[in-house]
Amino acid sequence: MVVALLLLCKLSFTQKLDAYEKHLLIQGKDTLPYRLLLPVDYDSSKKYPLIFFLHGAGERGNDNEAQLTHGAKLFLKEEVSTTYPAIVVFPQCPANSFWSNVNFKMENNNRVFIFQNGGQPTFAMKMAQDLLMTIVQTYPVKRDQVYVAGLSMGGMGTFEMVSRNSGLFAAAIPICGGGSVEAAKYMTNTKWWVFHGAKDNVVPPNYSEEMVKALKDANAIVKFTLYPEASHNSWDPAFAEPGLLAWLFSQHK
């Protein structure tokens, strides 16, 4: 009985996720899977905010499903979809790529991340940027309400995507990520709400703390929430923040 109920719950959740349409961005021999959620009662004559969401390393692949593991259900909640109608996009990073230009090494059993300032984007970042521009040009997007968010690897990608597209995003939400502090000067036209877990031993919180300081030093407007008891999973408490979406959708260029 318990197994049957679990299977029913899983099926129900999968059916809900089917509201995210499956698409492929194809450029020559290159392909990027992505899922697209249009607002309830979508009207192409109206314009909508755009949310571009970058998943973590564990959801890489080409099944066009795993990228919805974290965060996707937030935008399916009735109270969210009716209060904040928006176009939501979840691209999927290939298994052999990474959203951001970052290397890491182990020192004293700790991961040390080395972020590059500029340089050529990774394959995944290039394709994601091309997808973003395609969505903006194809759908009725409010150009003053383009948002980017992501967790872990996607949090790193969030910082880099803003730095590579200065002036495009009204707001950004990087969760348990990090970035190049030297690139912070290119990110000041975007409002920030940064999240991290104080006990994160996968991506230590100092990477968000350093970015917050660099952004503030560059006169960016930044909110920072550090969860004292959270480890790497700081996305669940971040998604549960009562004022998160109200803050996000109040941001305009």
Q: Which domains, ranges and CATH numbers included, belong to the chain?
A: 2-249 (3.40.50.1820)
Among candidates 206, 203, 204, which has minimal Cα distance to 181?
A: 206
pLDDT for 27 equals: 95
- Tell me the CB-side half-sphere exposure of residue 112, using CA atoms within 13 A: 5
Look-up: residue for tokens 């450029």? 27
Q: In the numeric block, which tokens belong to residue 249?
A: 């959708």
- What's the CA gap between 49 and 137, in Å, rounded? 13
Per-residue pLDDT of 195-231, as tens digits, reads 999 999 999 999 999 999 999 999 999 999 999 999 9
Look-up: residue for tokens 């192409």? 44
pLDDT bin (cut points 50, 70, 90) of residue 128 is very high
Q: In the numeric block, which tokens belong to residue 18?
A: 């089917």
Q: What pTM, to 2 d.p., does this model score? A: 0.93
The beta strands (E) that lie in the chain are given as 21-27, 30-37, 48-54, 87-91, 102-107, 110-115, 141-151, 171-175, 191-197, 222-227
Q: How many CB atoms lie within 10 A of CB 182?
A: 13
Average pLDDT, the chain: 94
